[in-house]
Structure 1
Amino acid sequence: MTSSLMRKGSRPLRLPLLIAALAFSGAAAHAEDEPGSLPRSFPVATPAVAALPAAPTLGADIAGLLEQARASNPGFAAQRAETAAARERTDSAGALPDPNFQVELMDFTNQMRGGGTTLVPGRVGETRYRVIQALPGWGKRDLQTRSAAAKAEQAAAGLDAAWLDLALTIKQAWLRYYAADREAALARESLALLGGLEEATLARYRQGLVPQQAVLRAQREITTQRIAQVGIGQRRRGAAAALNGILARSPDAPLAAPAEPAALPSALDLPALIARARAANPAITADERGIDAARLERERTFADRYPDYSVGVTNNRARGENQTWDVMFEVMIPLQQSARRAREREATQMLAAADARREATASRLAGELGSAWSTFTSAQETRRLIRGTLLPQAQATRDASRAAFETGRVDFDAVLEAERQLVDTRTSLLQAEIEARTALFEIEKLVGETP
Structure 2
Amino acid sequence: MSVFPRYAGVLIALLATSLALASAVQPARSQTPRLEALVAEALDRSPALQAARQRRAAAEHRRPQAASYPDPTLSYTRWLSAPETRVGPQRNVLAFGQTIPYPGKRSLRGDMSGEEAAVETAVIQSIARDIAYEVKSVYYDLYRVDRSLRILEDYLVLLETFTAAAEEKYATGSGSQADVLKSHVEASEIVKQRITLEGERSALAARLNGVLSRPSDSPVDPVASIDTTRYAQPESMVVEQALAVRQELDAADARIRRNELGVRLAHLASRPDFMVQGSYITVPKIGDHPASDAGKDAFGVMLSVNMPVFRSRTRAEVQEAMARVEESRHARQRIRDAVTAEVAGAYGQLSHSGRALDVYEQGLIVQAESSVLATLAAYQTGQMDFLNLLDAERMVLRTRLGYVAETANYRKYLSQLERAAGGSLP
Equivalent in the alignment of 2:351: 377
Q: Does 1:249 pair with 2:214?
A: yes
Separation in structure 2 between the aligned mates of residue 450 and residue 340 of structure 1, nearest angstrom = 46
Using structure 2 for the length normalisation, give the TM-score.
Answer: 0.85
Q: Does 1:279 pair with 2:253?
A: no
Match of 1:322 among 288, 296, 308: 296
Matching of residues 132-147 of structure 1 within 5 Å: 132-147=97-112
Aligned residue identity for 1:139: G
Match of 2:142 among 174, 177, 196: 177
Q: Does 1:197 pair with 2:162?
A: yes
Match of 1:67 among 27, 32, 40: 40
Call closer, same or farther: CA 1:259–1:84 in 2, change over 3 Å: farther
Call closer, same or farther: CA 1:259–1:93 in 2, change over 3 Å: farther
Q: Does 1:103 pair with 2:68?
A: no
Separation in structure 2 between the aligned mates of residue 66 and residue 280 of structure 1, nearest angstrom = 20
User: What's the CA shift string for 1:130-173, capped at 9, x where partnerless?
Assistant: 11111110111111122222221121112111221222222222
Aligned residue identity for 1:411: D
CA offset at residue 402 of structure 1?
2.1
Equivalent in the alignment of 1:93: 66
Equivalent in the alignment of 1:403: 377
Separation in structure 2 between the aligned mates of residue 255 and residue 339 of structure 1, nearest angstrom = 63
Matching of residues 262-273 of structure 1 within 5 Å: 262-273=227-238
User: What's the CA shift string for 1:305-344, capped at 9, x where partnerless?
Assistant: 1111111111212344333221121101011211111110
Structure 2 portions without partners, runs of 5+ = 1-30, 286-294
Q: Given that residues 61 and 261 in structure 1 are in contact (C-alpha distance below 8 angstroms), is that contact kept between their aligned partners in structure 2?
A: no
Structure 1 window deviating more from structure 2 (239-248 vs 92-101): it is 92-101
Separation in structure 2 between the aligned mates of residue 361 and residue 352 of structure 1, nearest angstrom = 14
Structure 1 window deviating more from structure 2 (185-194 vs 235-244): it is 185-194
Separation in structure 2 between the aligned mates of residue 298 and residue 111 of structure 1, nearest angstrom = 49
Equivalent in the alignment of 1:54: none
Equivalent in the alignment of 1:447: 421
Aligned residue identity for 1:295: E
Secondary structure of residue in 2 paired with 1:329: strand
Separation in structure 1 between the aligned mates of residue 213 and residue 119 of structure 2, nearest angstrom = 27
Runs of 4+ that moved beyond 6 A: none
Equivalent in the alignment of 1:164: 129
Q: Given that residues 375 and 435 in structure 1 are in contact (C-alpha distance below 8 angstroms), is that contact kept between their aligned partners in structure 2?
A: no
Q: Give aligned pairs, total.
A: 383
Q: Given that residues 78 and 91 in structure 2 are in contact (C-alpha distance below 8 angstroms), is that contact kept between their aligned partners in structure 1?
A: yes
CA offset at residue 241 of structure 1?
0.3
Matching of residues 307-346 of structure 1 within 5 Å: 307-320=272-285, 321-346=295-320
Separation in structure 1 between the aligned mates of residue 64 and residue 226 of structure 2, nearest angstrom = 46
Q: Does 1:413 pair with 2:378?
A: no
Equivalent in the alignment of 1:239: 204
Equivalent in the alignment of 1:34: none
Q: Given that residues 401 and 414 in structure 1 are in contact (C-alpha distance below 8 angstroms), is that contact kept between their aligned partners in structure 2?
A: yes
Equivalent in the alignment of 1:224: 189
Separation in structure 2 between the aligned mates of residue 145 and residue 445 of structure 1, nearest angstrom = 33
Q: Given that residues 61 and 258 in structure 1 are in contact (C-alpha distance below 8 angstroms), is that contact kept between their aligned partners in structure 2?
A: no
Using CA pairs below 8 Å that are at least 6 residues apart, which structure has the higher relative contact order?
Answer: 2
Call closer, same or farther: CA 1:169–1:142 in 2, change over 3 Å: same
Aligned residue identity for 2:388: A
Q: Given that residues 317 and 324 in structure 1 are in contact (C-alpha distance below 8 angstroms), is that contact kept between their aligned partners in structure 2?
A: yes
Call closer, same or farther: CA 1:231–1:59 in 2, change over 3 Å: farther
Q: Does 1:77 pair with 2:42?
A: no
Separation in structure 1 between the aligned mates of residue 223 and residue 284 of structure 2, nearest angstrom = 88
Q: Given that residues 93 and 282 in structure 2 are in contact (C-alpha distance below 8 angstroms), is that contact kept between their aligned partners in structure 1?
A: yes
